[in-house]
């Protein structure tokens, strides 16, 4: 038998990436339809936009948020806020399917009791990438990050506690969920430039949900 490392059917369902960090392959598939419906509702109320970094660069990933708090970036810095700066209105409510998925995946990864109050929704089109960064704008780093991949595959970079440390390249497919917390909570991570392709449900894009306890 030949083992194709990139055939998801041959890979284990649960892969430890580091202490406190785990990939739950295909974990989101059972809620795929509800998640896609939720994304549509969120984007209808708070459309995709390209944020600007504090240094003035336009991000290649388009973003929006749902839940009580949303992550934003502009010339004055990165922060969470309760209202969408584009509309002045509160962010759309977090769809029940997002909440249920985040709770379940966090518990499965060893973080029971996770109650996210923020969901950053990222959209990658071919060529879009996210450079190495830490998620550190949340108030209490005892809560994990739950990250859900939908649509086109991507390569997730998972690094160490310092920017210069080696990074693992983790191929992520539609439905995969990565949870990182505890000793891995502040690890650097990013996403390589998305390759061209077409996903049967999402077309030429990847949508990622990152659920956090921000406040």
Identify the residue among 157, 208, 212, 213 touching ligand SIN (CB under 6 A).
208
Starting at the earlier edge strand, list the strands of the sheet with 154-158.
Answer: 130-133, 189-191, 154-158, 168-172
Cβ-proximal residue to ligand SIN, closest one:
208
Cβ-proximal residue to Fe ion, closest one:
135
Identify the residue among 135, 157, 172, 178 touching Fe ion (CB under 5 A).
135
Contact of residue 147 among Fe ion, ligand SIN, none (CB under 5-8 Å per partner type): ligand SIN
Contact of residue 111 among Fe ion, ligand SIN, none (CB under 5-8 Å per partner type): none
Closest CA to 80 of 144, 125, 140, 163: 140
Please report where in the chains the tokens 């998620």 appear, as a residue: 135
Using the rule CB under 6 A, is 46 a contact of ligand SIN? no
Least distance from ligand SIN to the Cβ atom of residue 189, Å: 6
Q: Report the site for ligand SIN in 106-165 (rule: CB under 6 A).
A: 120, 122, 130, 147, 156
Nearer to Fe ion, 11 or 94 (CB): 94
Using the rule CB under 6 A, is 173 a contact of ligand SIN? no
Q: 10 Å Cβ neighbour count for 39? A: 22
Eight-class DSSP state of 214: -
In the chain, beta strands by DSSP E: 14-18, 21-24, 62-66, 70-74, 77-81, 118-124, 130-133, 145-151, 154-158, 168-172, 177-180, 189-191, 206-212
3-state secondary structure (DSSP) of residue 39: helix
Least distance from ligand SIN to the Cβ atom of residue 206, Å: 7
* Residue 165 token pair: 């440390």
Least distance from ligand SIN to the Cβ atom of residue 1, Å: 31
Residues that bind Fe ion (CB under 5 A): 135
| Residues engaged in binding ligand SIN (CB under 6 A) | 120, 122, 130, 147, 156, 189, 191, 208, 210
């Amino acid at each position: 038998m030949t083992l194709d490392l990139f055939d998801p059917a041959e890979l284990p369902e649960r892969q430890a990436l580091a202490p406190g960090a785990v990939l739950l392959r295909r974990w989101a598939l059972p809620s795929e339809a509800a998640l896609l419906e939720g994304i549509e509702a969120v984007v209808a109320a708070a459309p995709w936009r390209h944020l600007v970094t504090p240094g003035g660069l336009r991000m290649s990933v388009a973003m929006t948020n749902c839940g009580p708090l949303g992550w934003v970036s502009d010339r004055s810095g990165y922060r969470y806020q309760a209202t969408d700066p584009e509309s002045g209105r509160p962010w759309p409510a977090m769809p029940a399917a997002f909440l249920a998925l985040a709770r379940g995946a966090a518990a499965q990864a060893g973080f029971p009791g996770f109650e996210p109050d923020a969901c950053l929704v990222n959209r990658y089109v071919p060529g879009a990438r996210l450079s190495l960064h830490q998620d550190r704008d949340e108030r209490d780093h005892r809560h994990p990050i739950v990250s859900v991949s939908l649509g086109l595959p991507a390569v997730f970079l998972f690094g160490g506690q310092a920017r210069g440390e080696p990074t693992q390249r983790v191929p992520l497919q539609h439905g995969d969920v990565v949870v990182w917390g505890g000793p891995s909570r502040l690890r650097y991570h990013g996403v390589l430039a998305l390759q061209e392709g077409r996903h049967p449900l999402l077309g030429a894009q990847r949508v990622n949900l990152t659920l956090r306890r921000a406040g």
